[in-house]
Amino acid sequence: MNVRADNPAKGVKKHKLVKHDRYLSVAELERLGAALKAVEAEGASAFAIAAIRFLALSGCRRSEALSMQWEWIDFQHNLVKLPDSKTGQKVLLLGKEALEFLKILPHVEGSPLVFPSASGGTTPLSIQKIWGRVRQKAGLEDVRLHDLRHNFASTAVSSGLSLYIAGKLLGHSQPQTTQRYAHLALDPIRAAADEIAASIARKLQ
């Protein structure tokens, strides 16, 4: 067996992986809300619809939301203690709207899950098919469930929150994970620059 002394791949440029970061506009969020109501009215699982709404409101990972149990939620301190998430044990902080949304969900006897399946117990709920119906009705065929998490992050950073705070909300264990949203941090700075320049321009007239 002959082995080459040189590296045949030397000098070949690696293709960078293109990250699919999809954010929703105000109009798209409104269409999503209308589609969720419509699909639920057509008979879709109320818990599946609720899970999708919660993903949008919390920025939570799908696996974290669908495995979430009532006993993990601390309503007094607005948080969820996840014993085993993608990054290990962690605390998920919830905004008031997300927390109030959870409070109105019914508890299903025989299942500890917040979003139980028809099988009961700890069998995870499947929401992919219903999500397909929702995004088709909303005209958002290119939006994935995980993009709801991206949208939560982009909203946080674009509103002026630091990457550190956004990372904490998303439960990132490494700061560089949140770095993908760094370009959005310039949005509030640009808006401030526009406002200041406009204010000075009016006085110079």
Looking at residue 15, what is its pLDDT?
A: 46
Identify the CA nearest to 158 among candidates 184, 194, 193, 195.
184
pLDDT range class, residue 87, cuts 50, 70, 90? low
The stretch 130-158 carries a mean pLDDT of 91
Max CA-CA distance within the chain? 83
CB-based contacts of 147, cutoff 8 Å, min separation 6: 20, 21, 22, 23, 24
pLDDT at 41 over 80: yes
Q: Using alpha carbons only, how large is the chain's radius of gyration in Å?
A: 22
User: In angstroms, rounded to a whole number, what is the distance separating the alpha carbons of residues 59 and 65?
Assistant: 10
Confidence of residue 33 (pLDDT cuts 50, 70, 90): very high
Span 149-165, average pLDDT: 81
* pLDDT greater at residue 187 or residue 73: 73
Q: 185-197 pLDDT, tens per residue?
A: 677 777 778 887 8
d(CA 95, CA 56): 11
Q: What are phi and psi of 92, to 5 degrees?
A: -105, 120
201 has a pLDDT exceeding 80: no
| Domain coordinates in residue numbering, the chain | 26-204
Question: CATH second-level architecture of 26-204?
Answer: Orthogonal Bundle (1.10)
Report residue 6's pLDDT band, with 50, 70 and 90 as the boundaries: low
Chain centroid offset of residue 53 CA? 10
Q: Which pLDDT belongs to residue 74?
A: 94
Summarised one tens digit per residue, pLDDT across range 110-125 is 999 999 999 889 899 9
pLDDT exceeds cutoff 90 at 164: no
